[in-house]
Amino acid sequence: MENLKSLIRSIPDYPKPGIMFRDVTTLFGDARGLRAAISAMAEPYAGARVDAVAGIEARGFILGGAVADRL
């Protein structure tokens, strides 16, 4: 998990002071890291009957679709 965290860029004070923005586009650019992240999100539900996966907001649409495909 620490390895995945290293693939997520942190941008301090964006969009305003006091906010730490986590930019996952750097994770999306690393194929092995993205596969590992999708596997980690899907793993707790492996073998379960999943009828729907919700991907909230722009990054969630990308990750939610990938997790749904994995499940």
Between CA 71 and CA 58 the distance in angstroms is 20
Question: Quick one: pLDDT band at residue 68, thresholds 50, 70, 90?
Answer: very high
**What is the pLDDT at residue 58?**
87
pLDDT tens digits for 13-49? Answer: 999 999 999 999 999 999 999 999 999 999 999 999 9
Query: Is-contact 69 61, C-beta < 8 A?
Result: no
Record the pTM: 0.83
**What is the pLDDT at residue 19?**
97
**What is the pLDDT at residue 2?**
77
Q: Assign 10 to helix, strand or coil.
A: strand
23 closest CA partner among 3, 7, 35 = 7
